Chain A
Amino acid sequence: KAGVTQTPRYLIKTRGQQVTLSCSPISGHRSVSWYQQTPGQGLQFLFEYFSETQRNKGNFPGRFSGRQFSNSRSEMNVSTLELGDSALYLCASSHLPGALDEQYFGPGTRLTVT
């Protein structure tokens, strides 16, 4: 079974721009969660989508948004980028929503904002 894939793997953007990251879950998984990882704040939950509906959202500003398509693929968008948005963005897929089972993570997208 193919694992979780994330594109692009690396991204450099300028402050004020916007960015869209993509995540393809493991086949059959309907839940996709997104996390931000930084040295200072660690791993923080962004949001979770299950069957195209946002089930949960972390404490991030409205500049961070996401969506999920009917094939369970998910995208997250960050608008008006700030330097502090530089981070490793990880997505994870699972069968069940709500962290009720194990999460399978993708390799991440490393975003650098200059």
Chain B
Amino acid sequence: SQQGEEDPQALSIQEGENATMNCSYKTSINNLQWYRQNSGRGLVHLILIRSNEREKHSGRLRVTLDTSKKSSSLLITASRAADTASYFCATAIKGAGTASKLTFGTGTRLQVTL
């Protein structure tokens, strides 16, 4: 079963606009990670945010984490056509220590048009 659910399932925006994707999860986490996947290829790690952090930035990416609401959001600013991909959140459950594993959400399909 999936720990995370992403919203929306699909998002279509124009180049230059911002894109926001949300992720909700069910149990307490050690960390939450965001990944990008281009059309059936391998996943690329974007950002890892730990449970004691609230916000992280990387270039045009901004991730927030609200552990009280068990939710996270990924904001991509000034989007480009090259950002077209599927975006996944993944959680490592708290308390499992080194026996934890990444549980992936269902993904958001982002389409950026010119």
> Is B a genuine binding partner of A?
yes
Chain A residues with Cβ under 8 A from B107's Cβ? 42
Interchain CB contact under 8 A, A33 and B44: no
- Which 3 residue pairs are nearest across A and B when measured between Cβ atoms? A99-B92, A98-B98, A43-B104
Interface residues on chain A, number (Cβ under 8 Å): 29
**A101-B48, A102-B48, A108-B42 known; A42 and B101 CB under 8 Å?**
no
A99's partner among B41, B43, B101, B105 (CB-CB below 8 A) is B101
Overall SS of chain A's interface: strand
Interface status of B33 (Cβ within 8 A of chain A): yes
CB nearest to A91 among chain B residues: B42
Interface string of A18-55 (1 = CB under 8 A from B): 00000000000000010100000011110010100001
The range of chain B's interface size is 20 to 34
**A33-B101, A33-B102, A42-B104 known; A99 and B31 CB under 8 Å?**
yes
Which residues of B (29-57) have their CB < 8 Å from a CB of A? 30-31, 33, 35, 40-45, 48
B33's partner among A33, A98, A103 (CB-CB below 8 A) is A103
Q: Given the complex of chains A and B, what is the CA–CA distance between A45 and B35 in angstroms?
A: 15
CB nearest to A4 among chain B residues: B42
A binding-site residues for B, Cβ under 8 Å: 4, 33, 35, 42-45, 48, 50, 55-56, 58, 88, 90, 92, 96-108, 110
Interface status of B12 (Cβ within 8 A of chain A): no
Interface status of B82 (Cβ within 8 A of chain A): no
CB nearest to B46 among chain A residues: A102
Q: Given the complex of chains A and B, what is the CA–CA distance between A68 and B27 in angstroms?
A: 30
Interchain CB contact under 8 A, B33 and A105: no
Chain B residues with Cβ under 8 A from A102's Cβ? 33, 45, 48
Chain A residues with Cβ under 8 A from B45's Cβ? 102-105
Which residues of B (58-114) have their CB < 8 Å from a CB of A? 88, 90, 92, 96-107
